[in-house]
Amino acid sequence: MFMKDRNVIITGCARGIGRAMLEIFAKNGANVWACIRKPSDDFVAYSGRLADEYNVRIMPVYFDLADPGQIKAAVGSIMSAKLPVHGLVNNAGITYNALFQMTSMDRLREVFEVNFFSQFLLSQYIVKLMVRQKGGSIVNISSSAAIDADSGRSAYGASKAALICLTKVMAAELAERGIRVNAIAPGITETDMVAQSMSQDIISETVAHTMLKRMGKPVDIANTALFLASDLSSYITGQVIRTDGGLGR
């Protein structure tokens, strides 16, 4: 119960890594504002089952990260609960694979809007709440692509690299307020997003370059996020934790 009675915001909870995070955090006692893009009866039912199973509160919040107005409204909804916010996990994002010369400015702006600008804005709002309570932990989900500069991932990799820079700057600026900020750089992970954006040949080739010779599972990333959000990592800030099975090393 590493997060018992803690209140955490997690974005991108509808599927994949975010869904695994929701379950792991709930299992460890956290009350969660579970953020997804659109209302879903199935998600509400799933959240209710988790809440009952682990005796926690799960509060669905709906907003599109590409819309600053919706982000602001969502924060207002979170604030209306009048609860302290102990953690924020900026997990939601989109992927895009294309050669540098084939990447349009419109697609570049779209990727940065969701993967960086929205995370920046949401974090600004939530930090104001954390400052009032003199503490908190923020976990940003970056990518190994931000570090390894993979071919065909100029837009995606650059957006996630910007998130790493933001992580380190935020950690330096917010440490005196008792707020820790870290990032996770997942490698290839078993998600719908990976399956839809990468061919099986590329997936197999990438797996072959990991030390553990397997794809990561969403729970692997969720466990790392749990560690960074909890007091187990109370002396860790400004770091990028590669959770990639030893990719390329």
Active-site residue list: 156
The DSSP bridge partners found for residue 181 are 138
d(CA 204, CA 141): 23
The tokens describing 203, both together, are 């997936």
Direct distance between the N- and C-terminal alpha carbons of the chain, in angstroms, rounded to an integer: 34
Beta-strand ranges (E) seen in the chain are 7-11, 31-36, 58-62, 87-90, 136-141, 179-186, 240-243
Q: Are 59 and 71 in contact (CB under 8 A)?
A: no
Comparing C-alpha atoms, which of 98, 93, 106 is closest to residue 160? 93
